[in-house]
Amino acid sequence: MNNDINEIIELSNKNQKKAFSIIKELDIENNFKSIGARINLVGSLKMGLLMKNRDIDFHIYTSELNIEKSFSAVSKIASNIKIQKLTYSNLILTDEHCIEWHLFYKDDKNDNEVWQIDIIHILEGSYYDGYFEKANDDIISMLTEEKRNIILKLKYQTPNNIKIMGIEYYKAVLKYNIKDFDEFIKWRDKQLFNAIIEF
């Protein structure tokens, strides 16, 4: 595995550029604004920490959770032929108060390149309104070039068959000063994480 940090940064930048082009191509923001939603980019792309996992995350908010309106916005996005799969979860009556959309975008120029677009439609004023945005802002405020490079390298070194949430890397590096992959795995093995990890 090539661990040259310049090549890792180059791959990260390439993937982030591609992610923003997908967002523009699908007109994601305008499609949700058309139903009166407030829409925020969150996650690794927002923080400049997208590496090799092709994930794009949005949280959108409306004053009521109207399934029909949410479907309307998503259907416009899914009308793009590159959206090959779509899943939906109704969590309106749970503590999350949301509708989850997961769209899978496949660029025909690269048969192996599938992007997952997670759009979480959250009730305004509920517990998770702004929750992840604040965590993102806290992470961004602690990032230095050195810390960013360590996070990108850890993500790059993670085998593709191991699923690790981004927040695990950020917490390890920014709060526990983890610097290499072996150290990270030892730290991670000692953690007791719930479904949602607090930063």
User: 120 and 77: one domain?
Assistant: yes
In terms of Cβ atoms closer than 10 Å to its own Cβ (0-12, 13-18, 19+), residue 183 is middle
Q: Note down the domain range covering 53.
A: 5-127
pLDDT in tens, 18-71: 999 999 999 999 999 999 999 999 999 999 999 999 999 999 999 999 999 999
Taking the C-alpha atoms of residue 69 and residue 145, their distance in angstroms, rounded to an integer, is 41
pLDDT in tens, 139-181: 999 999 999 999 999 999 999 999 899 999 999 999 999 999 9
Structural domain includes residue 196? no
**Is the whole-model pTM more than 0.85?**
yes
Taking the C-alpha atoms of residue 89 and residue 94, their distance in angstroms, rounded to an integer, is 11
Residue type present at position 196: I
User: Which DSSP symbol is given to 12?
Assistant: H
Q: How many domains does the chain have?
A: 2
> Token pair 């593709």 is at which residue?
160
Beta strand 114-123 with 55-62 is parallel
User: 118 and 76: one domain?
Assistant: yes
Give pLDDT, residue 116: 98
User: 9 and 107: one domain?
Assistant: yes
Domain of 110, CATH number, reads: 3.30.460.10
Q: Give the tokens for residue 122.
A: 């959250």
User: 48 and 141: one domain?
Assistant: no
User: 122 and 179: one domain?
Assistant: no
